[in-house]
Amino acid sequence: MTRRIDTAAARDVLIANDRGGYTVPTSRLYPFQWNWDSAFVAMGWATFDEERAWRELERLVEGQWADGMVPHIVFHAPSDDYFPGPDVWGTHHSPPTSGISQPPVLASAVKFVFDHAKGADAAKRAEGLYHAALASHRWWAIARDPEGTGLVAILHPWESGMDNSPAWDEAFARVPAEPRTEIRRRDTAHVGAAMRPHDDDYRRYIHLVDIFREAGWDASALWEKAPFKVADLAINAILQRAEQDLAHLAERFGSEAEKAEISARIEKRARALSALWSEERGLYQPLDLISGARIDVSTSAGFLPLFAGLPSADQARRMAAEIVRWRGKVAHGVPSTSPFDPRFEPKRYWRGPVWGVVNYMIAEGLAAYELTEEADAIRADTRGLISSQGFAEYFDPTTGEGLGGGSFSWTAAIALLLSR
């Protein structure tokens, strides 16, 4: 029998990682505020501390740029435990931030917190955050889809949140491994190198940062100069779900023009994403926008269109069957890379391990299609991993071992969401 999650311990993780209105993912390894981490963490806070949930999101948008971008890192306080820091990014923003974004969960988090809110000021706070999320979605449409295709692009693997996924291997190989900035990795001082991206990946990551910094972080210049440009499934599916949640918020806080604008983006993206379905693989696949070719890869991101309600009923059943096939190959699901892929590595970051946040979104999507058995199996597996291994950053799908950082905030938040 699966042990129950210790919700008191999950709350304690968030409290311990609180740095004054924002939550670090974990001590030392990630000492700042991360974009999509904080959105999920706010949902976790909302299960027991409404005020703290609002503050999490409000502190995140303190880092929002004038053009609407919500950066992937907000450097509220200095720390030497992480590279690259604000000196490498050179964005000249106050507070200091990185120069790229991350999966846009913000609107979904705002809707979740508002739906569960009881405070007298909830509507006022939600309205302010609605406008921040609307500006963020406009930024994605303008800066990352300037040609109006309906699909937004990532220009750096870090924007996907799935940094070293095999989905990027071919496209990322075009990026020179020749950074001008000296690399001073800090992550491998806190976590074993076998669980992290390779040094060669970091050389390419920082090469891109160098290019973008020298372009002054101008959105149109980044689009023109980027040697890596991919329509990622996680970004597009999460953005599509966030647009739907933004549309719900717009019913309360938006104008008629804003409602129409959001609806148009939803319809256009749904049409564009439909072309990325692979019947052969039983999931969606990303698109290399430089070569124009769909990337033949099977990762957990390919199941995230379920979270946005994009597949047909038949496609959803096909995806559920593929998930069951993957889970039959490993002890715990859902692995971040297909266990049938020769590039599958059960311990290396996004090349195999199970992530609680991705499981949460996939299970929510399956449940919405009334694929209850499959959704419940993923939720039970996730609860079992957390109850036996604690609030690890991610988990080995072959052994269940907790990997990466410990006392991890978004794992604790997912534990709280799964315990409701």
- What pLDDT score does 80 carry? 86
Instruction: Note the Cα 62 to chain centre separation in Å.
Output: 19
- Write down the pTM of the prediction: 0.97
> How far apart are alpha carbons 237 and 234 in whole angstroms?
5
Give, in order, the Cα–Cα distances in Å from 283 to each of 207, 215, 268, 319, 345: 32, 36, 20, 6, 20
Beta strands 230-231; 283-284: pairing state:
unpaired
More confident residue, 179 or 4: 179
pLDDT in tens, 123-146: 999 999 999 999 999 999 999 999
**Rounded mean pLDDT, 332-336:** 97
Please, what is the average pLDDT of the chain? 96
**Rounded mean pLDDT, 31-44:** 97
**Rounded mean pLDDT, 207-228:** 98
Among 56, 163, 288, 345, the active-site one is 163
For the cut 70, the answer to whether the pLDDT of residue 413 exceeds it is yes
**Whether 87 is catalytic:** no
For the cut 70, the answer to whether the pLDDT of residue 259 exceeds it is yes
User: Please, are residues 166 and 343 in contact by the beta-carbon 8 Å criterion?
Assistant: yes
pLDDT in tens, 43-84: 999 999 999 999 999 999 999 999 999 999 999 999 988 989
> How far apart are alpha carbons 86 and 99 in whole angstroms?
9
- List CB contacts of 43: < 8 A, sequence separation 6 or more: 53, 109, 112, 113, 413, 417
The mean-pLDDT minimum among 45-49, 191-195, 269-273, 321-325 falls in 191-195
- What pLDDT score does 2 carry? 52
Tokens 């004054």 belong to residue: 20
User: Please, are residues 273 and 305 in contact by the beta-carbon 8 Å criterion?
Assistant: yes
- What pLDDT score does 189 carry? 72
CB atoms within 10 A of CB 22: 25
Give, in order, the Cα–Cα distances in Å from 324 to each of 45, 167, 342, 378: 32, 21, 19, 10
Tokens 């703290």 belong to residue: 52
**Hey, what domains does the chain have and what are their CATH numbers?**
7-418 (1.50.10.10)
For the cut 90, the answer to whether the pLDDT of residue 192 exceeds it is no
For the cut 80, the answer to whether the pLDDT of residue 409 exceeds it is yes
Q: Which runs of E-coded beta strand occur in 197-337?
A: 230-231, 277-278, 283-284, 287-288
Tokens 């963020």 belong to residue: 136
**Is the bond leading into 84 cis (omega within 30 degrees of zero)?**
yes
For the cut 60, the answer to whether the pLDDT of residue 1 exceeds it is no
SS3 97: strand
Among 187, 232, 345, 393, the active-site one is 393
**Whether 169 is catalytic:** no
**Rounded mean pLDDT, 193-206:** 87
- What pLDDT score does 4 carry? 82
> How far apart are alpha carbons 193 and 239 in whole angstroms?
32
**Rounded mean pLDDT, 329-334:** 97
User: Please, are residues 28 and 81 in contact by the beta-carbon 8 Å criterion?
Assistant: yes
| Phi and psi, residue 402, nearest 5° | -75, 135
- For CA atoms 246, 106, 142, 244, the dihedral sign is negative
Question: Given phi > 0 = left and psi -120 to 50 = alpha, else beta, which region is 345?
Answer: beta
